[in-house]
Structures are given as structure tokens and as C-alpha cells.
Amino acid sequence: MRGWEFDRPVPKRGYAWWYVDALSDDGAHGITIIAFIGTVFSPWYALARRVGGGTGGDPENHVCLNVALYGRPHRWAMTDRRRPALDRGADHLAIGPSRLDWDGESLTITIEETTAPIPSRLSGTVTLRPQALSTRAFQLDADGRHRWFPIAARSRVEVALSSPALSWSGPAYFDTNEGSAPLEQDFVQWDWCRAPMRDASAVLYNAERRDGSRQSLALRIGNDGAVEDIEPPTPVDLPRTLWRIPRPTRAENGDAQVVRTLEDTPFYSRSVIRTHLLGQEATAVHESLSLDRFRSPAMFAMLPFKVPRPWR
């Protein structure tokens, strides 16, 4: 598995996504980009999976490029598109007017999206250059339905947007997840963070599964892309968000604080935290996801305003 194989098979009711996040060198800006085949957080895909007693759901009929800009200006786009919007091969993935292209050395993301809930244009390019590529993937559940692969934990990006006009560069991260079942079927919640440092990055992935078991991954990813297991640090409960989403993490000596909340939604949060890992202080991107919150009926009434679906 190389990670950027955009033509990989995605099973019925399943998903594949490719995730990029980055913070600017000056800390003023951030971006998250997620390309979905099987838009796992789409109310439209969730509804499709429930057809026929829970056996429906064509992932290629629910594809999306989610883009979130942090800082000023703040923008959000997440349009769930139908099968005709998808075109893909091993090294390219087109979703409507946006696309991802891998040339063997860098990933170029061309963004042509419309923001929600207030429509505006979101346009430009993001170029990610990995320092090294990793080759180790991880199973997230006992039955092998969900996998995660940190493709390039140590990368750089160049952001060049025309609308809004914005240009910056900074450290970045690139990974991919894939699965053959809905996330909410097998997980109660998870939290994740990645912390780049001088000579390595620390990545933490903690999951609470529906079967009552837990998984805690703690990794050191070096400049050469080598992925090593480390002892999971001390659990830390960061302050809950305004939506009361828990933000658990792990840090050496229990030393971690929230610096900035990037996304505060009813079922997940994304934050910048100050933490202590691999014997160093570090600035990390942290996420916390509640799948119980996501699958509640109230959520499906709210999400169409943030995740529109065109008729064609």
C-alpha cells in the first residue's frame, strides 16, 4: 500500500479518504483538506446506507472535497457530489471541479469549491511536498474493517489561493483512512493528534470501539519516514468545547493545553494544542470525534446546511 492509490476499490457502505492539514509558519493560518469517496460525515450517505434494512450505500455516489480555512479569513466547503462528478486513477482524483494529482514527489490539490452555509467561491492550489514517505498501515478495529495509514507525517505545504486571496507555507501532514463499514457502527469516539518537531513527529490515535475495547497508538515518525511504536504517554483531559465535546489526549507528564479551537461542532472538534511529546514541547493539531453525537437524529437535521448535495 502506497497511500495515494486513488483508484483503490471502495466497498459498498464503505469509504476511503485522503487527509491533509497544515499550519502556517507564523501560526496565523491553517487549512484542512479531506477528499472522500463515501462521504462518511454526509447525512445523504448515511441515509443511503439505511436503505434496504441497512444494506444500501454506493460510496462513489457520495464524493466530496472538504476544505476548511482557519484564521482570517475563515472558510468552509463540503459539497456531497454524485457519481458523475468522480474521475480517478492511480495518481489522480477528480471530484467535480476540484482534483488531487500525485506526480511521484508532490501532491497538488486544485480547489474549485463553493462555501457553505453562505455561498462564496473557494479557489486556488495547495502543494504538499513530503519529506519522506512511510510504508506502515494500522488496523483500527478487531475485525479489520477500518485501516489508517500515515503516508507523510513530515511534509511542507504551499498555499496559493485566489479566492479568498491568501498565500502562505508551513509544516503539513498527509494520511489516508479506508473502511468497509460506517464509522459509527464500530466506534463510539476517537481522538487523534500529530506534533511535528525538529527531528521527528509524534502521532497519537486513541479509539473507543463499540465492542467495549480500546486502542491507543503512539508513534514516532522520523525524517526518513520510519514509523516506531513508543509507550503511550499519560492521559490528559483537555477542556471541553462549547458544544461540550470531550478533548482527551496523551502527553508526557500530563502537560498539554489548548492554544486555539479551530472547529467546534456538535460532534467533533479540531484544535491547536501545546503539548509535550518525545521529550520536547510541541505545537500539535488535535481532533476529537463523537460518533454517538454524529448518529443522533438531531444531527441529521442540522448537517444538510453544512453539507449540501446538488441535484447533479
Question: Cα separation of 68 and 187, whole Å?
Answer: 24
More confident residue, 47 or 36: 36
What tens digit of pLDDT does each residue of 55-80 get? 679 999 999 999 999 999 999 999 99
Average pLDDT of the chain is 95
What are the residues whose beta carbons fall under 8 Å from the beta carbon of 11, sequence distance 6 or more?
Answer: 59, 180
Asked if the model's pLDDT at residue 200 lies above 70, the reply is yes
Question: Cα separation of 285 and 77, whole Å?
Answer: 20
Question: Cα separation of 194 and 200, whole Å?
Answer: 11
Question: Cα separation of 197 and 311, whole Å?
Answer: 45
Asked if the model's pLDDT at residue 300 lies above 80, the reply is no
pLDDT band at 3 (very low <50, low <70, confident <90, very high): low
**What's CA 304's distance to the chain center, in Å?**
20
Question: Cα separation of 167 and 254, whole Å?
Answer: 36
Beta bridge partners of 247: 238
What are the residues whose beta carbons fall under 8 Å from the beta carbon of 288, sequence distance 6 or more?
Answer: 189, 190, 191, 245, 246, 247, 248, 268, 269, 271
| Strands (DSSP E) found in 57-186 | 63-70, 75-77, 86-89, 92-95, 98-102, 107-114, 121-130, 138-139, 146-163, 165-179
Question: What average pLDDT score do residues 84-104 get?
Answer: 97
